[in-house]
Structure 1
């Protein structure tokens, strides 16, 4: 990801069976964020025809989530 100047870490699922729940590092953060964004009706179905409009809706949803946490 040289364009965005960020590091990308891929966390793979372990195939070992355990008796207890073990969260995977960093993956739960992504899953939590996706579940927060699914609360916005405009983002659950692809209403937008253009990618920049969809990106703007993602920004608005993220701003609303962050403002609610203040």
Structure 2
């Protein structure tokens, strides 16, 4: 997998050639969705730090956190 900047960051230009143009910022489509989800997970005390040793435990904690969010939203909308 190649980087968005073409892999030119932190590389030396050849002698006599100008350095390659590298964009410092590239908009990633719908990245805000992922960032928002990580923020929701970070609000849960258990998910705020990476305490889990096994990947399966960490995945289960994420499912539990998202289920708690869903139930809380359903209860709020049912009022």
Same fold by TM-score, threshold 0.5 exceeded? yes
Higher relative contact order (CA 8 A, sep 6+): 1
Alpha-carbon deviation of 1:62?
Answer: 0.5
Q: Which residue of the partner structure matches residue 39 of structure 1?
A: 43
CA RMSD in angstroms comes to: 1.8
Higher fraction of helix? 1
Which structure 1 residue ranges, 5 or more long, are not aligned? 1-11, 15-23
Give the TM-score, by structure 1 length.
0.61
Give the TM-score, by structure 2 length.
0.55
Which structure 2 residue ranges, 5 or more long, are not aligned? 1-24, 75-79
The runs of at least 4 aligned residues of structure 1 exceeding 6 Å deviation read none
Q: Which has the larger radius of gyration?
A: 2
